[in-house]
């Protein structure tokens, strides 16, 4: 196939068009290519640090690296330790926000949390002194609010999040890592402190069950392929990778994608936006999802060693390579 012909063909199908527009030299996504990207970035392995503020997290396999790309029509590419399981951690904040908005409407939810980007750390609490609400639902303080807003008694908030993740991934085997949950509950003094400060601000009405739900949602265990399906879901107006559109909702996907770009990588979001430019959300378990609404691709990476912002260090590096090579930054023409 000659380049010009290939170009014309690809234009007609949105799928590869992004590679052509971006690069002129088309990159063919393949498992081999993803393996190369992993290899290219594996030298960073020793620069990050596995989260150890939750003792159970410190047990993660710090050498693991994986990447999975899921495109329209079920196209999937994967490489590395993609069968390795890990906890979703803050990536669950997207699901909690989604359900809270379904329960209350976006306006009511954002009376209790802001839309702000920030230069502050993911677990900052000082702003609760000066601001009427947490800055955004991607940082811990805001996520405590959205989780507590999910309707339901006791652990129902958590069960609804778990159920939604199982739906999105179409994987009913997904469940909590009980050891991680108990470890978070035992040592999560900072989150517990914020939880009560938020009660003091009358932004949370529930008791500590709601805090437990937060710890539980963070402790849901998943693999990289599951994660790519979550990324795909938000890249495609909340349509499932297999086309099921029970939850299709472009307003929610736009909300989530804009929050991912604004705050999904915490205080690194601004720099990430410039370097990678794809709406993304990280978790301290080492996962990152990147959801590209332009092409509909959902990308997931995993590597538990974190940078100083609490994001997977190699995960960001791999996404930077993918973004540059595929030309899928939102800011590229």
Residue 15 lies near a copy of itself (rule: CB under 8 A): no
Looking at 266, 268, 272, 297, which residue is catalytic? 266
φ, ψ of residue 250 in degrees (nearest 5): -70, -25
User: DSSP for 186-239?
Assistant: HH-HHHHHHHHHHHHTTS--S-HHHHHHHHHHHTBEEEHHHHHHHHHHHHTTT-
Angle at 170 between CA 164 and CA 171, to 5 degrees: 95
Residue 235: half-sphere exposure toward Cβ, Cα within 13 Å: 29
Residue 284 assigned as binding residue: yes
Q: Which stretch binds a copy of itself (CB under 8 A): 32-40, 96-104, 215-223, 325-333?
A: 325-333
Residue 333 lies near a copy of itself (rule: CB under 8 A): yes
C-alpha span between 192 and 247 (Å, rounded): 32
Whichever of 39 and 190 has its CB closer to a copy of itself, that residue is 190
Q: Which residue has the tokens 């150890």?
A: 52
> Could you confirm whether 248 is annotated as catalytic?
no
φ, ψ of residue 266 in degrees (nearest 5): 60, -140
Residue 124 lies near a copy of itself (rule: CB under 8 A): yes
Which two three-digit tokens encode residue 279?
């709406």
Q: Which of residues 240-279 bind a copy of itself (CB under 8 A)?
A: 250, 253-255, 257-259, 261-263, 267, 269-271, 273-274, 277, 279
Whichever of 110 and 181 has its CB closer to a copy of itself, that residue is 110
Binding interface with a copy of itself (CB under 8 A): 1, 3-4, 6-8, 10-11, 17, 20-21, 24, 114-119, 124-131, 135-136, 189-190, 192-200, 235-237, 250, 253-255, 257-259, 261-263, 267, 269-271, 273-274, 277, 279, 293-294, 296, 329-333
Residues annotated as catalytic are: 90, 93, 214, 266, 284
């Amino acid at each position: 196939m000659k380049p010009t012909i290939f170009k014309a063909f690809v234009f007609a199908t949105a799928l590869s068009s992004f590679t052509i527009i971006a690069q002129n030299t088309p990159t063919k996504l393949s498992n081999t290519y993803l393996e190369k990207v992993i290899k290219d970035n594996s030298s960073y392995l020793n620069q990050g640090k596995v989260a150890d503020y939750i003792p159970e997290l410190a047990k993660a396999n710090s050498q693991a690296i994986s990447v999975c790309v899921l495109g329209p029509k079920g196209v999937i590419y994967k490489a590395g330790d993609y069968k390795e399981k890990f906890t979703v951690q803050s990536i669950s904040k997207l699901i909690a926000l989604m359900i809270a908005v379904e329960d209350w409407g976006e306006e009511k939810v954002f009376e209790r949390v802001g839309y702000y980007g920030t230069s502050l750390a993911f677990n900052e609490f000082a702003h609760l002194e000066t601001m009427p609400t947490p800055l955004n639902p991607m940082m811990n303080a805001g996520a405590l609010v959205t989780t507590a807003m999910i309707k339901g008694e006791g652990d129902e908030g958590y069960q609804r999040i778990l159920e939604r993740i199982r739906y999105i991934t179409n994987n009913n085997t997904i469940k909590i890592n009980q050891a991680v949950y108990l470890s978070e509950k035992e040592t999560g003094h900072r989150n517990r402190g914020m939880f009560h400060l938020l009660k003091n601000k009358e932004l949370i009405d529930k008791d500590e069950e709601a805090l437990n739900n937060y710890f539980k949602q963070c402790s849901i265990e998943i693999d990289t392929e599951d994660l790519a399906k979550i990324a795909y879901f938000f890249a495609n107006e909340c349509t499932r990778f297999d086309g099921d559109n029970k939850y299709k909702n472009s307003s929610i996907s736009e909300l989530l994608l804009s929050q991912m770009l604004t705050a999904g990588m915490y205080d690194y979001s601004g720099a990430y936006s410039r370097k990678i430019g794809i709406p993304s959300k990280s978790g301290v378990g080492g996962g990152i999802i990147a959801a590209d609404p332009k092409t509909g691709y959902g990308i997931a990476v995993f590597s538990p060693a974190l940078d100083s912002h609490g994001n997977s260090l190699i995960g960001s590096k791999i996404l930077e390579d993918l973004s540059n090579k595929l030309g899928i930054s939102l800011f590229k023409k």
